[in-house]
């Protein structure tokens, strides 16, 4: 019999003051947004990373944080409600507002952020691609903390496995499973963060769309790999064969990201 690691017991409430409870799930998202914002400011104020390419100033990015946060929350929740549990929330519409119970869709959040950025850039007369390139570099910070939040919540667990680090998750039955949340935190978060940081170091921000394309293709591939170890949502299951909804939604990201990368490399860096 293989060694099975016990799932660490987390109190979902990090801080409680009277009737007010702050959950680890919320703190993870807040940490991701704040650290991503700090990182974005560092990228924006270093003109040497941009060459001669026009880019937003610090004031614009400070104002953008609120828009991005709304895009993440509204888009992520709406995507989860509509794509993953539409039938359930149609019968329990008020529960769609209970964000503390978990349930966010990355692809929905991505669409929400893109819409928010396009509206913001139109109002402020900014180049959307420059803003999206910066966000692409910093998004893995939030993805890392989001997957850690999934692990703390004991949700989105992996498939049954006999690997030495398999865990028995509360509510997932008696069989040990892959801690796929941690796999995805490593792939979608840390690995992608490092790849994009290296790309920036070698001039990615001087080529419009390159960082955005690298993120799209990189996340899509990382998500597809992660889905191999993760249990599909119970209400959806496998769409056909071994294919899950997460895989299907990530395939266009790989293709579109590859197109952005090819175009950016073909055009070359912006001249001063």
What's the predicted TM-score (pTM) here?
Answer: 0.85
Compute the residue count for the chain.
Answer: 272
Task: State how far the Cα of 249 lies from the Cα of 226, in Å rounded to an integer.
Answer: 13
Token representation of residue 64: 């953008």
Q: What angle do CA 135, 140, 144 make, to 5 degrees?
A: 145
Which of the residue ranges 46-55, 137-146, 237-246 has the most confident prediction, judged by mean pLDDT? Answer: 137-146
Q: For the segment 173-202, what is each residue's pLDDT rounded down to a tens digit? A: 889 999 999 999 999 999 999 999 999 999
State the DSSP code for 63: H
Helix (H, G, I), strand (E, B) or coil at 251: helix
Q: For the segment 65-82, what is each residue's pLDDT rounded down to a tens digit? A: 889 888 888 888 887 777
Buried b (16+ CB within 10 A) or exposed e, 50-67: beebebbeeebbeebeeb
**Selected residue with higher pLDDT from 217 and 102:** 217
Burial of 140 (C-beta count, 10 Å sphere; 0-12/13-18/19+): buried
The gap between the terminal CA atoms of the chain, to the nearest Å, is 64
| Predicted pLDDT of residue 54 | 87
Q: For the segment 83-131, what is each residue's pLDDT rounded down to a tens digit? A: 666 666 676 677 666 665 656 777 888 888 999 999 999 999 999 999 9
């Amino acid at each position: 019999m293989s060694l099975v690691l016990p799932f660490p017991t987390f109190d979902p409430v990090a801080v409680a003051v009277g009737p007010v409870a702050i959950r680890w799930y919320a703190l993870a998202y807040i940490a991701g947004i704040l650290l991503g914002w700090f990182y974005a400011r560092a990228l924006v104020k270093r003109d040497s990373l941009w060459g001669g390419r026009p880019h937003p100033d610090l004031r614009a990015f400070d104002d953008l944080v609120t828009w991005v946060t709304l895009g993440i929350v509204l888009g992520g929740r709406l995507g989860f409600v509509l794509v993953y549990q539409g039938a359930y929330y149609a019968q329990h519409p008020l529960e769609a507002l209970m964000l503390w119970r978990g349930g966010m869709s990355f692809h929905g959040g991505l669409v929400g952020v893109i819409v928010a950025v396009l509206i913001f850039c139109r109002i402020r007369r900014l180049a959307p691609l420059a803003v999206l390139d910066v966000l692409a570099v910093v998004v893995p910070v939030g993805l890392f903390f989001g997957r850690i939040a999934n692990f703390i919540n004991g949700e989105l667990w992996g498939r049954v496995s006999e690997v030495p680090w398999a865990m028995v998750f509360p509510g997932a039955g008696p069989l040990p499973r892959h801690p796929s949340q941690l796999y995805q935190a490593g792939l979608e978060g840390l690995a992608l963060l490092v790849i994009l940081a290296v790309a920036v170091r070698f001039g990615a921000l001087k080529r419009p769309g390159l960082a955005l394309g690298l993120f799209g293709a990189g996340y899509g591939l990382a998500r597809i790999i992660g889905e191999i170890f993760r249990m599909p949502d119970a209400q959806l299951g496998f769409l056909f064969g071994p294919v899950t909804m997460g895989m299907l939604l990530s395939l266009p990201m790989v293709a579109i990201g590859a197109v952005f990368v090819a175009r950016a490399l073909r055009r070359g860096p912006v001249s001063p």
